[in-house]
């Protein structure tokens, strides 16, 4: 049973990484807590749902589509709205994204209604049996997709011109500006990339979790915990934080009862903030 719970935790952890990736990117580069994030994931999940319902497209194939659909509006939103308050204190930027989230979430509620939906894979992908441990294939595939997504973003920031510009701006905004990097554009690109990643993550999750505008707060909450666990803005940290949380929750539920799974994660988070505010894998020098 312990081994099965470990497998459960790993699979969950991969999904958690996908949930937190875009959030971490925005936090790390733009230094903004993006409250919109949960709703962007839900939006991605809806796109996958309708692509599946209308055209029979698998949610895995829908992931890139969802990413592309979210990219442009997010770019414009950042350039036109969020960019105006970027230099302001946390309170202002956070309140802005909170307001934007109220709007987006209410819009989704009006358009999609609140009923829970879910992509049902037909035929179902089934369950693998590996040494007596049950490994559901849809979770495995979504988890693999999630890891690919993280790897893709990581490669993007390492190997491409845009990626290096993003890293440069994240390290030192002023120096990057002096070197002729168009900071505002880089910020907008980062935000758009994060939204695209959130959309793709939503599509991957659409076969696993019930879809509703109401679900967005849950995703946001998880993203928070994972980012702090893994270290703010660190992309490998997202993977560490995601897997960490997945495993902690699984064993917490086993040893303390399912209703305490969340408590363990929150208490850990608080302790971590007090004693190691850069996260388990974060960089030096906070604030």
Partner 1 sequence: MRSKGLGVVAFVVAAAVSVIAAFNPGLAQTIKVGAPLPLTGPLSPEGTKLRQGYELWLEELNKAGGIRTAGSRANVELVFYDYQSNTPRAVQLAEKLIVDDKVDFLFSPFGSGAAKAASVVAEKYGVPMLASTASSAEVFDQGYKNLFGLYTDNSTLSEPIADLVTKKSPDIRRVAILARNDLYPMSLANEFEKSAKARGLQVVFFEKYAIGTMDHSAALTQIQGVRPDWIVVTGYINDLILARKQMGDLRLTAPVVTMINGPAYNEWIEATGALSENITTASWFHPVLNYQSKDLFGSTQNFVRLFKDKYGSEPDFTQASGAAVGVILQQAIERAGSTDRDAVRAELGKGNFETFFGLISFGPTGMANSYVPPVYQIQDRQVKVIYPEAVKTGEFRLGVR
Partner 2 sequence: MSGRPAVVQDAAIALIAVTAVAAVAVLGDNYVVRLATTLFLYASLALSWNLIGGYAGYPSFATAAFFGLGAYANGVLQAAGLPFAVAWIGVAGIAAVCGALLGFCILHLRGHYFAIASLVVGDVLREIVNSWTSLTGGGMGMNLPLIAFSADMQARFFMGGFFGLALAAFLVARLIDRRPLGFTLRCIEQNDTAAAMLGADTRFAKSAAFTIACIFAGAAGAIYASWVSYIDPTDVFDVLYSVKPIIMALLGGIGTVTGPVIGAVVFLGLEELFWRNFLETHEGVLGLLVVLLVLFLPDGIHRLLTIGRHRTWRAAAS
Which stretches of the chain bind partner 1, using CB under 8 A?
A: 1, 4-5, 8-9, 11-12, 106, 109, 113-118, 120, 122, 124, 127, 134, 136, 138-139, 208-210, 212-215, 217-218, 221-222, 246, 249-254, 257-263
What is the torsional sign of CA 47, 53, 54, 60?
positive
- Which residue in the set 3, 68, 72, 107 belongs to the binding site for partner 2 (CB under 8 A)? 107
Verify binding: residue 76, partner 2, rule CB under 8 A: no
Verify binding: residue 81, partner 2, rule CB under 8 A: yes
Compute φ and ψ for 49, nearest 5 degrees: -60, -45
- Which region, judged by CB under 8 A, interacts with partner 2, from 104-112, 123-131, 133-141, 245-253? 104-112
Site for partner 2 in 110-139 (CB under 8 A): 110
Nearest CB to partner 2, comparing residues 17 and 101: 101
* Nearest distance in Å: CB 179, partner 2: 26
Nearest CB to partner 1, comparing residues 195 and 220: 220
**Ranges of H-type helices in the chain:** 2-30, 37-55, 59-80, 90-112, 137-159, 161-171, 173-178, 183-205, 216-230, 235-256, 261-275
What is the torsional sign of CA 28, 32, 33, 38?
negative
Cβ neighbours around 264 below 10 Å, total: 17
* Nearest distance in Å: CB 27, partner 2: 7
Conformation bin of residue 210: beta by default, left when phi > 0, alpha when psi is -120 to 50:
beta
* Nearest distance in Å: CB 261, partner 1: 7
Could you tell me if 249 and 264 are in contact, meaning their C-beta atoms sit under 8 angstroms apart?
A: yes
Verify binding: residue 91, partner 2, rule CB under 8 A: yes
């Amino acid at each position: 049973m312990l081994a099965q719970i470990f497998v459960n935790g790993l699979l969950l952890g991969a999904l958690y990484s996908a949930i937190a990736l875009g959030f971490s990117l925005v936090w790390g580069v733009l230094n903004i807590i993006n409250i919109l994030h949960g709703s962007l994931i839900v939006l991605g999940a809806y796109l996958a749902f309708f692509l599946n319902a209308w055209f029979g497209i698998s949610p895995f194939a829908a992931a890139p589509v969802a990413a592309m659909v979210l990219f442009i509006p997010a770019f414009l939103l950042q350039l036109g709205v969020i960019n105006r308050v970027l230099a302001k204190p946390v309170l202002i930027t956070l309140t802005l994204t909170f307001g934007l989230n109220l709007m987006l979430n209410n819009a989704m509620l009006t358009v999609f209604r609140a009923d829970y939906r879910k992509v049902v894979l037909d035929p179902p992908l089934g369950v693998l049996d590996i040494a007596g441990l049950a490994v559901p294939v849809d979770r495995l595939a979504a988890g693999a997709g999630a890891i690919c997504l993280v790897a893709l973003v990581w490669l993007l920031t390492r190997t491409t011109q845009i990626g290096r510009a993003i890293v440069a701006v994240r390290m030192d905004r002023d120096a990057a500006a002096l070197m002729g990097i168009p900071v505002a554009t880089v910020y907008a690109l980062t935000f758009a990339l994060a939204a695209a990643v959130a959309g793709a993550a939503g599509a991957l999750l659409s076969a696993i979790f019930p879809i509703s505008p109401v679900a967005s707060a849950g995703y946001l909450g998880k993203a928070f915990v994972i980012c702090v666990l893994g270290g703010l803005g660190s992309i490998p940290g997202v993977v560490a934080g995601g897997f960490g949380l997945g495993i902690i929750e699984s064993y917490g539920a086993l040893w303390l009862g399912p209703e305490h799974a969340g408590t363990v994660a929150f208490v850990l988070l608080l302790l971590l903030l007090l004693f190691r505010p850069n996260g388990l894998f974060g960089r030096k020098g906070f604030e």
